[in-house]
Structures are given as C-alpha cells and as structure tokens.
A and B are shown apart, each in its own frame.
Chain A
Amino acid sequence: MKKSNSMWVFIYGALAVMLVYNLTPFFWMVVSSFKSELEVVSYPATLLPNVFTTDAYEKIWLQEGFLLYFKNSLTVSLSTAALSSLVGIFAGYGFSRFRFKGRLAIMTAFLATQMIPGVLLVGPYFKMMTLTGLYDTLFGLILAQTSITLPFSVWMIKGYMDTVPIEIDQAAEVDGASRLQTLFLCIVPLVLPGLVATTIFAFLLSWGDLLWALCLISDPQKQTMTLGITQLVGQFRVYWSEIMAATVIASIIPACLYLVLQRYLVQGFTEAAVKE
C-alpha cells in the first residue's frame, strides 16, 4: 500500500496528538511531585518546577509510612498473582486436556463470574472475614483479590495450553509420564511466556485495587499503596506534591510491567478472550 506524502504527514501528526494527549497527565504528575509544597499550589501554575526538590518523596517515604504500604502492596499483589496462577495452571490443564461431564457449564461459570461487580461481593465478604477472623489481615485481602483475578487467569492459561499440540501429551504418556509430570515438565515450559503474562496481569489488577482494601483493612499498618494514597487526601488541606509523589511511585511498577508485557498482552487477549 503506497501512501502520498501528505497522508504520512497526517498519520504522524495524529500520532503526535496522541503522544501529547497520553503523556500530559503523566507529565503533570511527575513535574508536580518535584515541586515544593508551596509552589505546587501556586497560581498561576508553573509548567516546570522553579526549584527542583525531592522533599515530597522524602516525606512520604520517611514520615508517611509509604515504605510499609509499598511492601504491603507488593506482598498482597505478588501472593494474589501467584495463587491465581498456580490454581489456574491446574484448572487450565483440566479444561484444556480433559473432556468430562459439565466441563462447558463450569467453564461458563468461570467466564460469567468475571462480570460480577466487586461491590456485590465485598459486603458479604466483609462478614465472612469477620466470622473467620481474617478481617484486617493481608491474607484475607489476598483471598479477596483472588476473586478478581482467578476467573480470567483460568481462562487465559487454558487458552495458552490449547495452543500446545496434544501430541506432546501423547509422547509424554508413551514415555511413562504421569499427568502431573506431563503438565509441569512438558506443558508449563511451553506456555511459560503466556503464564508470565497472566501472572503479571493478575498482579496489576491486584495492585490497582482500592475497593477491597478499603473495605477489608482498617489497621494503618496493613494499608496498601492505593489505600494509603487516598488517606493522604486530607479533609482540610491537600498536600499535592506529596500526593503526586505517591502516585508516581504507585504508577511506576505497573507502567514498567505493561511495557515489558505489551506483546504478550495482545496475544493474551487474542488467545483467551477473542479466539476466532
């Protein structure tokens, strides 16, 4: 397909517009986080900091306890991702390689539960956690967040496993491997990229969650990043440079992970959600 020069000007022009549109909020966030407490609320606003300072970062790390929130978020998100992927490997293999009664019905159930809004579950979940003593524990939060990630983990992993030829299983069986050996020694290595993508995606969903942490955590020592940041927004005064510094920290990990992941992400969509 050949395009005229003016066409290319239009295409790159449109891409440039997208660049500005997409990056402006990031730009504003980063720039504001390096301003002083006073400059950040000065009027009219400065485009770049007059005085470049890392005060806001030092404050939230050292005084506001964000080091702890960061650790909590990492713990919760890593565990959630690991749990849903581990369970998902077994279930994905089960759905991909076995034909049992009720298989389609159960798969539909997994898919349909993805549509359930969190607000429906979080109330009863709160009650369940209080009854079992898991309220206000990171473990309870991990279990809760797995409800967001489990259904799509199962479906995505199953989708990846469907792409592995059944001959691999048969060869393994001829060699005397059990089903578990086949799964972990033959199938898992072959779907590893997809598995990593699924795990990272689960991590990110958990990392960005606010609702569950808000409803299931009250101890300040157990707050996650997102919860900690919303608590920073004071009732009387808002320290924007600190909040922006905190949002920068909370955005860095997802941004980096998505960039590493983007190739697999598209693949994941095409294989798990939009197979034709």
Chain B
Amino acid sequence: MTKTHDIGDVSNDGTGTMRDNYKGYLFILPALLMLVVILGFPALAAFLQSFNLMWVAKPGFSLGAYRALVDDAEFLHSLFNTVVFVVVVVSSHLVVGLSIALLLNMDIKFKWMWRVVAILPWTMPDVIGGLVWRFMFDTLPGIVNSVLLRTHLTTEPVDWLGQPGLAFFAVILAESWRGYPYVMLILLAGLQSIPRQQYEAAELDGCSALQKFMYVTMPNLKHMFIISLVLDTVWESRLFGMVYSMTGGGPGYSSQILTLLSYKQYFQFFNVSYGAAMAVVLATVLFFISLPYLRLSMRQQI
C-alpha cells in the first residue's frame, strides 16, 4: 500500500549517504530514555511488587499474591467478566464494523457526511460514554425505559443498573456502541486497498455478489482483520473509565473487570502486591494476544 523505500540499498550505491548510521542512536535517544523511565521501569517495578520485592511494607520474595488469586472469588469473577466482555464486545465490533465499512465503501451519496456519523461514537471518551449510558439506562428518567414503556415492550421500568446480570449487559451494550468505529476505520482502509481489477475479473467469471465477497473481499481483508482483532482486544481488555463511571463494578462485583479490581486493590485497599499481581496477569495475557500483531508489523520492516 505504502511505498517503502529500501534504504538498505542506498548505503551500497556509492553515494555514502548512510555512513553516519551511528547517528541514529542520537535521534532515538530521547524517546528511548523516556520509554525506559516511564514505561520500562514502572512495568519492572510492578512485576517485582507482585513478588513482594519492591516498594512494599516488608520486602521479601513471596508467591503469596499469586497463590491468593486462585482462591479469590472476586478475582476469578472479574477475570471471567473480562473474558466475556472482551469476546462479546470485540465480536460485535467486528460484525458491526465490517458491515458499516462495506456500506461506506459503496458509491453512496454524501459519503463524507455518513463517514462522520459513523466515527462519532468513538470520539466520545470512554468515561463520558459510561456516564451518558448510565443516564440512558437510569430506571425512571432514562431514555431506554421510556422507549420500552412507550412501545409496550415492558409494562414496568427495568432496573438496568441495579441488577447483577443486567448491569453487566448494559456496560457491554454501551462499549459495543462506543468502540466499533475504530475497527470500522481499519477495515475500511483495508477495503479501499483492494484492487478494483480483482472485482472486475470476478465479474467476468460470473461471480455473484456473495461469491465476490467470499473469494475477493474476505481473503484480501485477512491481514486487516487480524490487526483489528488484536488491537481491539487489547484496547477493550485495558478499558477502565467506562466501567468505573457507569457501574463502578457493581452491583456487588457483578460487572467488575480486572483493570478496575486491580485499581481498587492498589489504591483503595492498599494491597500493593496483590493489585500488582492482577495487573501482571492481565499484561502477560495481553502480551501473548498481541504476538501475531507484533509479528505482522515487524515483518514489514526492513
């Protein structure tokens, strides 16, 4: 898609442009230093904290935090919730995102306007989205119940955020709405990069619209699909603000997710190594999930 210039060849063509390759270190130095100080070091510290080795009350190697995790019903429930949340939300993002990307890739009128509308939900910060949806799901003055009552789908207002299963469902609905344009944008970029000739050839061979979709669109979108799947999974697993502002993890811990629980353990209950251990578990899982994306991205580098 993008033409990348093979700089490796230039250094051998006799112009000597690349003799100063060592200067590359100077250019990346500020960023690298920041990476080490504000990302590398805290990540390492959290890892050590989870083993009770650093910045804890009584330092000394211990697997206590991890052992306790296994028996902690709230942690297990939050882990389960995180998995359900990510699977449902990301799948809905892929389905809705692909459908709308396909629509926007057609020769529609006012394309620019439709595209703007399609991106809007994603422009709302997740904390803000959480509050807006919290009010929409409010039992009495909320718009959701108003619509349900007016269309006679229910006879009594539903207590969306006050019941364990429903509250979690409401959060899933809210984030399904907010996050899909991100996936849509990536898939749309993929659709736009498919050469028209492939469709023309398929038409010559007498393919139906469905066949074109199955044999031209889908194979071409494969990379973009993997990328949006991985990136969205990572984003949604790290989600914090929306659940914090919409339900706070409640009622009880029925809509709690790992990020929120780790924060509470660390900053509200001061169980430093326990909170850190949860974050380490989450980070480890995310690292393995992102491996296909890392490999894809690095393969394109010279």
Contact = CB atoms under 8 A, between A and B. Distances in A.
B142 interface: yes
Interface in A186-226: 204, 207-211, 214-215, 226
B123 A254 contact: yes
Nearest to A120: B279
B39 interface: yes
Given A91-B27, A266-B189, A25 B121 contact: yes
Contact of A274 (B126, B227, B259): B227
Contacts of B133: 25
Contacts of A95: 24, 28
Contacts of B15: 170
A100 B300 CA distance: 17
Interface residues of B, number: 116
B24 A150 contact: no
B234 A115 contact: yes
B135 A146 contact: no
B166 interface: no
25 contacts: A14-B99, A15-B103, A15-B108, A15-B114, A29-B135, A44-B150, A91-B31, A100-B25, A106-B32, A107-B298, A108-B298, A115-B234, A116-B283, A119-B266, A121-B46, A124-B46, A126-B267, A144-B38, A150-B38, A204-B123, A214-B267, A233-B131, A247-B132, A258-B119, A270-B193
B279 A117 contact: yes
Interface of A: 1, 11-12, 14-15, 18-19, 21-26, 28-29, 32, 40-45, 47, 87-88, 90-91, 93-100, 103-104, 106-128, 143-144, 146-147, 150-151, 154, 159, 162-163, 165-166, 169-170, 173, 179, 204, 207-211, 214-215, 226, 229-230, 233, 240, 243-244, 247, 250-251, 254-255, 257-259, 262, 265-267, 269-271, 273-276
Interface stretch (B2-10, B65-73, B83-91): B2-10
Given A169-B17, A243-B131, A125 B294 contact: no
A165 B120 contact: no
A109 B287 CA distance: 12
B189 A269 contact: yes
A18 B117 CA distance: 8
A41 B234 CA distance: 37
A43 B149 CA distance: 11
Contact of A99 (B18, B138, B300): B18
B21 A99 contact: yes
Contacts of A251: 123-125, 128
Contact of B108 (A11, A29, A230, A243): A11
Closest 10 CB pairs of A and B: A98-B24, A208-B125, A94-B27, A91-B31, A124-B45, A210-B241, A94-B28, A120-B279, A124-B42, A43-B140
B205 interface: no
Given A11-B106, A99-B21, A104 B298 contact: yes
Contacts of A42: 141
A159 to B, nearest CB: 7
A26 B49 CA distance: 42
Contact of A119 (B32, B223, B262): B262
